[in-house]
Structure 1
Amino acid sequence: MENFEINAKVRTDIGKGASRRMRHAGLIPAIIYGSGKDPVSLSLSHNEIINSLNNESFYSHILTVNLDGKSEKAVLKDLQRHPYKPSILHLDLQRVSDTEKLSLRVPLHFLNEENCVGVKQDGGKISHQMTEVEISCLPKDLPEFIEVDLVNVKVSEIVHLSNLIIPENVELASLAHGDLPVASVNLPRGTQEEEDQEEQKEEQKEEQ
Structure 2
Amino acid sequence: MASKQIELTASTRTKHGKGASGRLRKTGRVPGIVYGHGVEPTALDVDALQLYHALHTDAGRNVLIRLEVEGETHLSIVKDLQRHAVRGDVMHVDFQAVSRDQQITAEIPVHLANEEDPRQNGGIINLVLYTVPLRVRPLEVPQEFVLDLAGTEIGDVRRMSDLADQLPEGAEFELEDDVTIVTITAPMSEEELDELAEGAGIEEDQAEPELVAEGDEPAEGGDEAEGGADAEGDGDADE
TM-score (normalised: structure 2):
0.70
Structure showing greater radius of gyration is 2
Structure 2 distance, partners of 1:161, 1:93, is 29
Matched, 1:50 2:47: no
Give the aligned partner of residue 190 of structure 1. Answer: 189
Deviation at 1:38, TM superposition (A): 0.8
Give the aligned partner of residue 69 of structure 2. Answer: 67
Structure 2 distance, partners of 1:127, 1:156, is 11
Work out whether residues 119 and 185 of structure 1, in 8 Å CA contact, stay in contact via their aligned partners in 2. no
Deviation at 1:174, TM superposition (A): 3.4
Structure 1 gap segments, 5+ residues each: 196-208
Structure 1 distance, partners of 2:122, 2:77, is 41
Work out whether residues 22 and 28 of structure 1, in 8 Å CA contact, stay in contact via their aligned partners in 2. yes
Work out whether residues 31 and 93 of structure 1, in 8 Å CA contact, stay in contact via their aligned partners in 2. yes
TM-score (normalised: structure 1):
0.80
Paired residues for 1:1-208 under 5 Å: 2-114=4-116, 116=117, 118-120=118-120, 122-165=121-164, 166-175=167-176, 179-190=178-189
Work out whether residues 84 and 91 of structure 2, in 8 Å CA contact, stay in contact via their aligned partners in 1. yes
Richer in helix (by share) = 1
Deviation at 1:185, TM superposition (A): 1.8
Structure 1 distance, partners of 2:59, 2:46, is 19
Instruction: Give the number of aligned pairs.
Output: 189
Give the aligned partner of residue 206 of structure 1. Answer: none
Structure 2 gap segments, 5+ residues each: 194-239
Structure 2 distance, partners of 1:184, 1:107, is 17
Query: What is the RMSD computed on CA atoms of the aligned residues?
Result: 2.4
Structure 2 distance, partners of 1:101, 1:150, is 30
Deviation at 1:36, TM superposition (A): 4.3
Deviation at 1:179, TM superposition (A): 4.2
Aligned-partner SS, 1:18:
helix
Q: Which stretches of structure 1, 4 residues or more, deviate above 6 A after TM superposition?
A: none
Identity of aligned residues (%): 28
Structure 2 distance, partners of 1:98, 1:127, is 36
Letter paired with 1:44: V
Deviation at 1:91, TM superposition (A): 1.0
Structure 2 distance, partners of 1:148, 1:50, is 29
Q: Return closer, same or farther for 1:13/1:179 CA change in 2, 3 Å cut-off.
A: farther
